[in-house]
Structure formats: C-alpha cells, structure tokens
C-alpha cells in the first residue's frame, strides 16, 4: 500500500474482503435483490461512496450500491462532501461504530450517532425531537 502512495497501511481483521474485487461474486448476487427492490426517487441526492457523486435516479442508486461492494470506498472524500453540503450529523445504522469513529477522525465538528439496536434508535429519535423543538 505504501508503494502505491498510502501514508499509512495496517492489517485489519475482517470476516470478508469488503470493498475489494474479491467481492464481485457477492455483488452479482446482490444485484438481483437490488433489481427486485423498488426505490423511490429521493428528495435529496444519495452520495455514492465510490465516486462521491449525488444520485437521484433509482437505477443510479442501485448501480452505486452494487459497485461499492467490490470497489474501494472514498469515506474521507464522502465526509468532506457532506460538510460542503452542510451536513452536520452522520448516522451509522447497523452493528459497530467503525464509520462513526472514522468520521470523528476526519472532522470532529460533525455529530456522529451510531445506531446498533432499537434502543439506540429510540434514543436518537428522542434527542432529535428535543433538539428540533427548541
């Protein structure tokens, strides 16, 4: 990685080779599910982690989800794009807090919320409601 220009490289213990070409077969399997899923046109663009571009067309969003399975994601650039767009809160849904931690390292001014379970979701909703009512 350093030979390719990386400032820092470290081995990670992972259960799957996410965001690498080794995941192409998984992306192919996911593709069928994405095609069978109805996507509404969003009111704001969905930023792709692969190319950091906003998409509003359902087929573009499907393609972005498919591509991010086997391509490197541009998380730092994505967070910088969020900041440029005026985003001040990032919500991570699912197990773990990896993305929230990475986001804090990129820019500590962004509020990061990790939602791992229904209780955390309820707490986040209550916090959101109380902050918008004042």
Q: Is 5 left (phi over 0), alpha (psi -120 to 50) or beta?
A: left
- pTM of the full predicted structure? 0.80
Stretch 39-54: mean pLDDT, rounded?
96
Q: How far apart are the first and last CA of the chain?
A: 48
Stretch 58-85: mean pLDDT, rounded?
96
Burial tier of 104 (Cβ tally within 10 Å: 0-12, 13-18, 19+): middle
| pLDDT higher than 70, residue 134 | no
* Structural element, H or E, at residue 90: strand 89-93
| pLDDT higher than 80, residue 41 | yes
Instruction: Determine the pLDDT at residue 51.
Output: 97
CB 124 within 8 A of CB 97: no
| pLDDT higher than 80, residue 1 | no
Cα–Cα distance list, 59 to 44, 46, 49, 65 (Å): 15, 12, 16, 10
């Amino acid at each position: 990685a350093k030979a390719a220009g990386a400032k820092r490289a470290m081995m990670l213990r992972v259960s799957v080779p996410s965001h690498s070409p080794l995941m192409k077969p998984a992306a192919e399997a996911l593709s069928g599910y994405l095609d069978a899923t109805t996507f509404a046109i969003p009111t704001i663009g969905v930023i792709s982690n692969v190319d950091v571009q906003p998409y509003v067309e359902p087929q573009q969003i499907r393609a972005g989800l498919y591509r991010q399975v086997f391509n490197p994601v541009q998380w730092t650039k994505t967070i910088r794009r969020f900041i440029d767009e005026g985003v001040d809160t990032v919500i991570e849904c699912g197990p773990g807090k990896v993305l929230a931690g990475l986001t804090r390292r990129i820019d500590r001014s962004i509020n990061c919320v990790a939602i791992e379970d229904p209780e955390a979701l309820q707490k986040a909703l209550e916090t959101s409601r109380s902050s918008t009512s004042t």
